[in-house]
A and B are shown apart, each in its own frame.
Chain A
Amino acid sequence: MKNVKIQHGIYKNLPSGTIYNSQAGFLIFAVGVAFKLTAAPGVINETYGSSTLWAFMIMSAVEIAITACIFAFARMRGDDLLRCSASKTYRLICAAASVWLIVKGTFYFCYCVSYLARELFGGVEPSLLYLLFLFPAIYLGIKGARTVARTTEILVPIIFVLIAFNLIFFDTNNDIGRNLPIFSMDPVDFFKNLPRFGLWIGDALPFAFLRVKNKRLPYVTGSIVLTLATVLITVMLGVAAYGDSMKMVSDLLIHIAGFNQLSMEIGRMEWTNLFAAVSVSILSLSFIYFGAIAACDRAVETRVPAVVLYPAAVAAIIAIVPSSQSVAKFAVQAIGYALTAMAIAIPLLMLTTALVVKKKMPNLYRHLDDEFVPRELPYPEPPASLADNILKPFKRQAQQEYATLDNGSLQTEENQ
């Protein structure tokens, strides 16, 4: 395929598994908004009340640390290094990552269906909603990160404008003081409960399996800052408007659009953020799905288990579990602690393993980009022996005793 150079060293067609940092930035925004602003605020408010914003801040700090680990790993080409070194540890980590992403994706899928069932399709058979989400998420996930990234590149600017538009025109009776006190419960309980919400952290893990090519501007850092600002401002306004009653809000992103002051003039505005919520949810689900497939590929050298398992898990839920809401509830119980532990441990282990292997095999790391060429030996192999039965170390001594034939072999007694 002809690779057309556009400008500043940016190519139209990137190598497989490579995305631009601008695309990574858009993906971070989509995933951040989908995971942090849809169902999470209402669920977290149920436990934390006025401390919701502060819980979000602590979770955001953890998320920044995790994302920093993941991008450090991606920037140092940790994935390539560990694959080249055939590290068994990395395979194990990838296996765990694949399982974790499938579980996370399945739980999140249930949240998406749960809020859509309430917000958009009242009275519609939930299995239809499963299909509505499943088709595009699977299609994009299988196509790979570049397809997801390109789709995100088109949709996220529109989504950002919609969210900003609704925040700018936000107008309702609110009290910012409702975000106080910081600890609505005992600090011990505050920190003890926080890991239960592990479903909503570690969303950037699939970046570990990608190469990020830089454009001029620091898109990734900018996007992380912008995403966190959007999330925290929205949550702050949500608590200011609803107070402790935010627990009834199944999707804050959609509800906040209802307070757009233009809705007095042009009717209900929830549809604007509903479009945003559905789009970012599908993009995030497909990105998580891609991550599960990529991790599986590295663990067992085939994508098939993850490709099959994720839709199978969703299908199993349709068949077995009576409602998606019960799965959503289950995700914030004891299993939430396991999800948090995995979300923190996997990127840390990946980065540590990559650093250890880099230190152990500096030459391998240095030559990661080199083409494989068989090494030229300093001493060419002698021609095939004509069965003179003399080992190489004794050859010089034997050459003094026996005459050498034209083909290089010695004329020993046996040869005679």
Chain B
Amino acid sequence: MKKLNVSSYAMRTKWIVILLCVVFLLVFGRTVNSPALTKTAIVIGIGVDFDEKTSEFEITTQAVQMLSNTSGTGGQRYDVTTCRGKTISSALDDISQKMGLIVSLAHCEVLFLSKSALKLDHLQIIYPLNTMYALREQAIIVTGSLSPREMLATRIGTTISSPYFLQSAIVNNEGTDGLIKTTAKDLLARSMSRSEATAIPYILPKKLEDQPQNEQEEMKDNYEFDLSRVLVFNHDSSEILDEDLSEILAIFLSETTYGSLNYTAENGSSFEFRILDKGVKTSANGRTIKAEIDLKVDLLDYQFVQTDEILSGATEIIREAAKKLGEQLTDRMKKLHALSLQYGIDFLGLQAKAYQRIGRKLEEHCLDSLSFSPKVKITVKEAA
């Protein structure tokens, strides 16, 4: 092969290329807009609200600021900032301006959406946040009885910051008793499927009856979040499910489930089972969708049981209670299906499942024509 007329030194040495790269980085590294950490607002929670009258977005961010004083001890401050704009980006730019810092969502794990925002195109909400502001696709989506602004400003007794509390509760699976975990990616995947519906945690803030105290005084206006409810929705409507139904829906939809299940018999004896593992198998046979939920549980506690013996997973009473609990949960699944038909919201994802089986010939919005057959099986095991 004929060689180019380039000097052999330039052709052989790697140093010339390395030198060029170093020069490139030195020259452009200073001019490129790469913000330092001190110039960045580390947002840990963001809220998106939509005003239907003015067609404006109200964006609220909660940013954490690291404080340090002369004694060397540091602290944290949580700043809540709100701005409005015709687009999400314009509101976020205004927040940047207000704070004098560049907004980065790279560490944001919680996205509050109002009910009005959920009616909009979900892709158009998530896409700019993900691509332009580095919001993680694993960030969790929540909604609640208050507006996102109020939610973010709520002071939580244990952790002060509400996004930080939710991060601990949902992302780190701590104390998630039947709590549903829907990420930004899951929201898009489900809302763009044939079912066009999904479910997210619905938060009910309650003022603490006994406010926490520090050395000087009582700390006022602290709240606690009740995370036991779920909001099911599609683009047209939304409904809130009660605790029991939310619990089984979380087991059905979430990837992993933690927490415990309670069964109270007719004679008043009460049993608490801890969920160890679960398997959810959904299959479609034509227009019939079958769901089999296999739960592995461990006996956690029992009360009001008329017996002298120490009960364990091997005892007949416990096995019977687990069986009854399985039947109870099956009934709740059936109730969920009935509500899904009543509301016209396919939050169980039945149309998506039928579409996978039947294919493109399946007509759209055919929830009424699909039958659902759930079964919950509970096996009592011993935890390690």
Flag if A172 contacts B127 (CB, 8 Å). no
Flag if A139 contacts B17 (CB, 8 Å). yes
Residues of B within 8 A of A181 (CB): 355-360
Interface string of A122-142 (1 = CB under 8 A from B): 111100100110011001001
- Determine whether A221 belongs to the interface, using a CB cutoff of 8 Å to chain B: no
How many chain A residues touch B (CB < 8 A): the figure is: 51
Contact of A264 among B24, B172, B359 (CB under 8 A): B172
Q: Whole-angstrom distance between the alpha carbons of A132 and B17 in the complex?
A: 12
Q: Whole-angstrom distance between the alpha carbons of A177 and B255 in the complex?
A: 15
- Determine whether B66 belongs to the interface, using a CB cutoff of 8 Å to chain A: no
Flag if A172 contacts B32 (CB, 8 Å). no
- Determine whether B131 belongs to the interface, using a CB cutoff of 8 Å to chain A: yes
Flag if B356 contacts A243 (CB, 8 Å). no
Flag if B4 contacts A243 (CB, 8 Å). no
- Determine whether B188 belongs to the interface, using a CB cutoff of 8 Å to chain A: yes
- Determine whether A245 belongs to the interface, using a CB cutoff of 8 Å to chain B: yes
- Determine whether A84 belongs to the interface, using a CB cutoff of 8 Å to chain B: no
- Determine whether A157 belongs to the interface, using a CB cutoff of 8 Å to chain B: no
Distance (whole angstroms) from the CB of A193 to the closest CB of chain B: 14
- Determine whether A180 belongs to the interface, using a CB cutoff of 8 Å to chain B: yes
- Determine whether B1 belongs to the interface, using a CB cutoff of 8 Å to chain A: yes
Residue of B nearest to A241 (CB): B185
- Determine whether B87 belongs to the interface, using a CB cutoff of 8 Å to chain A: no
Residue of B nearest to A173 (CB): B255
- Determine whether B162 belongs to the interface, using a CB cutoff of 8 Å to chain A: no
Q: Whole-angstrom distance between the alpha carbons of A347 and B129 in the complex?
A: 44
- Determine whether A302 belongs to the interface, using a CB cutoff of 8 Å to chain B: yes
Q: Whole-angstrom distance between the alpha carbons of A301 and B282 in the complex?
A: 63
Contact of B33 among A17, A124, A174, A180 (CB under 8 A): A124
Flag if B185 contacts A301 (CB, 8 Å). no
Flag if B131 contacts A123 (CB, 8 Å). no
Q: Whole-angstrom distance between the alpha carbons of A184 and B28 in the complex?
A: 47
Most buried by B among A182, A245, A303: A245
Flag if B4 contacts A303 (CB, 8 Å). yes
Flag if A242 contacts B24 (CB, 8 Å). no
Q: Whole-angstrom distance between the alpha carbons of A30 and B282 in the complex?
A: 38
Chain A positions 170-196 with a Cβ under 8 Å from a chain B Cβ:
171-174, 177-178, 180-186
Chain A positions 109-156 with a Cβ under 8 Å from a chain B Cβ:
118, 121-125, 128, 131-132, 135-136, 139, 142-144
Contact of A118 among B123, B131, B183 (CB under 8 A): B131
- Determine whether B11 belongs to the interface, using a CB cutoff of 8 Å to chain A: yes
Chain B positions 102-133 with a Cβ under 8 Å from a chain A Cβ:
106, 123, 126-127, 130-132
How many chain B residues touch A (CB < 8 A): the figure is: 46
Distance (whole angstroms) from the CB of A378 to the closest CB of chain B: 37
Residues of B within 8 A of A171 (CB): 255
Residues of A within 8 A of B352 (CB): 178
Flag if B189 contacts A180 (CB, 8 Å). no
- Determine whether A407 belongs to the interface, using a CB cutoff of 8 Å to chain B: no
Contact of B192 among A173, A244, A259 (CB under 8 A): A244
Residues of B within 8 A of A186 (CB): 360
Residues of B within 8 A of A50 (CB): 356
Interface string of B154-174 (1 = CB under 8 A from A): 000000000000000001100
Residues of B within 8 A of A125 (CB): 32
Chain A positions 267-290 with a Cβ under 8 Å from a chain B Cβ:
268
- Determine whether B260 belongs to the interface, using a CB cutoff of 8 Å to chain A: no
Interface string of A298-311 (1 = CB under 8 A from B): 00011110010000
Residues of B within 8 A of A303 (CB): 1-4
- Determine whether B65 belongs to the interface, using a CB cutoff of 8 Å to chain A: no
Contact of B185 among A118, A144, A242, A304 (CB under 8 A): A242
- Determine whether A258 belongs to the interface, using a CB cutoff of 8 Å to chain B: yes
Residues of A within 8 A of B185 (CB): 172-173, 241-242, 245
Chain B positions 1-54 with a Cβ under 8 Å from a chain A Cβ:
1-4, 6, 11, 17, 20-21, 24, 28, 32-33
Segment among B134-142, B209-217, B238-246, B295-303 that sits at the interface with chain A: B134-142
Most buried by B among A144, A183, A248, A303: A248
Contact of A258 among B21, B136, B355 (CB under 8 A): B136
- Determine whether B254 belongs to the interface, using a CB cutoff of 8 Å to chain A: yes
Residues of A within 8 A of B6 (CB): 142
Residue of A nearest to B361 (CB): A181
Interface string of A80-123 (1 = CB under 8 A from B): 00000000000000000000000000000000000000100111
Given contacts A122-B132, A135-B24, A259-B138, contact A173 B4 (CB under 8 A): no
Flag if B189 contacts A135 (CB, 8 Å). no
Residues of A within 8 A of B17 (CB): 135-136, 139
Q: Whole-angstrom distance between the alpha carbons of A297 and B352 in the complex?
A: 55
Distance (whole angstroms) from the CB of B255 to the closest CB of chain A: 4
Residues of B within 8 A of A122 (CB): 132, 134
- Determine whether A255 belongs to the interface, using a CB cutoff of 8 Å to chain B: yes
- Determine whether B186 belongs to the interface, using a CB cutoff of 8 Å to chain A: yes
Residues of A within 8 A of B229 (CB): none
Most buried by B among A118, A131, A242, A302: A242
Distance (whole angstroms) from the CB of B170 to the closest CB of chain A: 12
- Determine whether B193 belongs to the interface, using a CB cutoff of 8 Å to chain A: yes
Interface string of B182-210 (1 = CB under 8 A from A): 01011011101100000000000000000
- Determine whether A16 belongs to the interface, using a CB cutoff of 8 Å to chain B: yes
Flag if A124 contacts B2 (CB, 8 Å). no
Residues of B within 8 A of A174 (CB): 255
Residue of B nearest to A249 (CB): B137
- Determine whether B149 belongs to the interface, using a CB cutoff of 8 Å to chain A: no
- Determine whether B353 belongs to the interface, using a CB cutoff of 8 Å to chain A: yes
Distance (whole angstroms) from the CB of B345 to the closest CB of chain A: 18
Flag if B192 contacts A243 (CB, 8 Å). yes
A-B residue pairs in contact (CB < 8 Å), sample of 27:
A50-B356, A131-B24, A136-B21, A172-B183, A173-B181, A173-B255, A174-B255, A177-B282, A177-B353, A177-B356, A178-B352, A178-B356, A180-B359, A181-B355, A181-B359, A183-B359, A183-B360, A186-B360, A242-B189, A243-B188, A243-B193, A245-B188, A245-B192, A258-B136, A258-B138, A268-B136, A303-B4
A143-B11, A243-B189 given. 11 additional CB < 8 A pairs?
A118-B131, A142-B4, A173-B183, A177-B356, A185-B360, A242-B188, A243-B190, A264-B172, A297-B2, A301-B2, A303-B4
Q: Which residues of A contact B (CB under 8 A)?
A: 16-17, 50, 118, 121-125, 128, 131-132, 135-136, 139, 142-144, 171-174, 177-178, 180-186, 241-245, 248, 250, 255, 258-259, 263-264, 268, 294, 297, 301-304, 307
List 6 A-B pairs, minimum CB-CB distance, nearest first. Answer: A245-B188, A181-B359, A243-B189, A173-B255, A180-B356, A244-B192
Q: Which residues of B contact A (CB under 8 A)?
A: 1-4, 6, 11, 17, 20-21, 24, 28, 32-33, 106, 123, 126-127, 130-132, 134, 136-138, 171-172, 181, 183, 185-186, 188-190, 192-193, 254-255, 282, 352-353, 355-360
